[in-house]
């Protein structure tokens, strides 16, 4: 493949991943939408993880326990549901892996991280456009 085709594929995958991330985080996971049940289940799992399962040593300082568990749950929940940049980077990386495996004869290791970085930028761009011109 020529370099021009690979650059075009990178840009198209990045734009696609940015749109996917923006729509996933800002539209589809909102109450009453298609993925609202997924978001509600993740938030319920986060609440259960924060409030349940204290060991004997953690009962001595419940505020520290809940703060520590909150940070761990946010660290896990952010790339899946709440951060448009994290979701965009993941979508771009996995779209690039799929593209490389399905359509290219050789697997380029540099292709996937470049698409992921461009996808993060595109996700931020589309989120700014959505918030400015199409506020919900």
pLDDT in tens, 48-84: 777 776 655 555 666 666 677 777 777 778 888 888 9
What is the end-to-end Cα distance of the chain in Å, rounded? 43
Q: Is 54 left (phi over 0), alpha (psi -120 to 50) or beta?
A: beta
pLDDT at 117 over 90: yes
Q: What pLDDT score was predicted for residue 58?
A: 56
| Of the candidate ranges 6-20, 87-101, 104-118, the one whose mean pLDDT is the lowest | 104-118
The rounded mean pLDDT for the chain is: 84
User: Any idea which residue has 């923006």 for tokens?
Assistant: 22
pLDDT at 30 over 70: yes
Q: What is the pLDDT of residues 119-133, one digit of tens each?
A: 999 999 999 999 899
d(CA 58, CA 109): 44
**N residues, the chain:** 136
Mean pLDDT (whole number) for 28-36: 90
Does residue 134 surpass a pLDDT of 80? yes
Are 27 and 33 within 8 A, CB to CB?
A: yes
Dump strand ranges (E) for the chain. Answer: none
Distance set, CA 116 to CA 103, 124, 132 (Å): 18, 13, 24
Per-residue pLDDT at 11 exceeds 80: yes
CA torsion, points 11, 108, 5, 84, in degrees to nearest 10?
Answer: -10
- Per DSSP, the residues of 23-57 read HIIIIITSTTSTTHHHHHHHHHHHHHHHHS---TT
């Amino acid at each position: 493949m020529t370099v021009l085709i690979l650059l075009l594929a990178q840009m198209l995958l990045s734009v696609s991943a940015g749109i996917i991330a923006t729509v996933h985080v800002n539209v589809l996971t909102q109450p009453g939408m298609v993925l609202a049940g997924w978001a509600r289940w993740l938030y319920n799992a986060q609440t259960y993880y924060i409030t349940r399962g204290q060991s004997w040593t953690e009962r001595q300082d419940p505020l520290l326990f809940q703060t520590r568990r909150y940070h761990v749950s946010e660290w896990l929940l952010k790339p899946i549901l709440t951060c448009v940049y994290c979701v965009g980077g993941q979508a771009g990386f996995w779209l690039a892996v799929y593209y490389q495996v399905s359509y290219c004869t050789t697997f380029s290791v540099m292709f996937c991280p470049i698409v992921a970085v461009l996808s993060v930028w595109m996700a931020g761009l589309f989120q700014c456009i959505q918030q400015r011109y199409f506020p919900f």
